[in-house]
Copies of this chain bind each other. A is one copy, B any other.
Amino acid sequence: MVSLDRRFHALADPTRRAVLERLGPGEATVGELAQPFPLSLPAFLKHLRVLEEAGLIETEKRGRTRICRLRNGAYAPLAAWLDDQRRLWEERTDRLAELAIAMEESADAKHDQDRRE
């Protein structure tokens, strides 16, 4: 299994994210992918390698060209981690809300008590 480190690192670059965005709707060759970027081909190839080793894309050589496509379930582990964190956060705010309510009730009780005195 590829580490979250590799996956997140792969996304921390605008060129690589652009490639993924381009690959969302459908597959493309190395040349087609590289065309929009002001990069040498070797530099661009390194980005593709990073994406492939992060398990985000898969590639296949057909003749003298190589076609690239998004991997099935590529984003699942990343989305899962984010969802976990958001869940933790919301559980926390829920607890805070309960606490606030409890304090309010306690304050009301004190208020009633004051009135009775």
A interface list, Cβ under 8 A from B: 4-6, 8-9, 11-14, 17, 20-21, 24-26, 70, 74-75, 78-79, 81-83, 85-86, 88-89, 91-92
Contacts and interface: CB of A to CB of B under 8 A. Distances in A.
A106 B114 CA distance: 83
User: How many copies altogether?
Assistant: 2
Given A9-B9, A17-B4, A82 B79 contact: yes
Contact of A85 (B9, B14, B21, B81): B21
B92 A86 contact: no
A interface SS class: helix
29 contacts: A4-B11, A4-B12, A4-B14, A5-B12, A5-B13, A5-B14, A6-B12, A8-B12, A9-B9, A9-B12, A11-B12, A12-B12, A17-B81, A21-B85, A21-B88, A24-B85, A24-B88, A24-B92, A25-B91, A25-B92, A74-B89, A75-B82, A75-B85, A75-B86, A75-B89, A79-B79, A79-B82, A79-B83, A79-B86
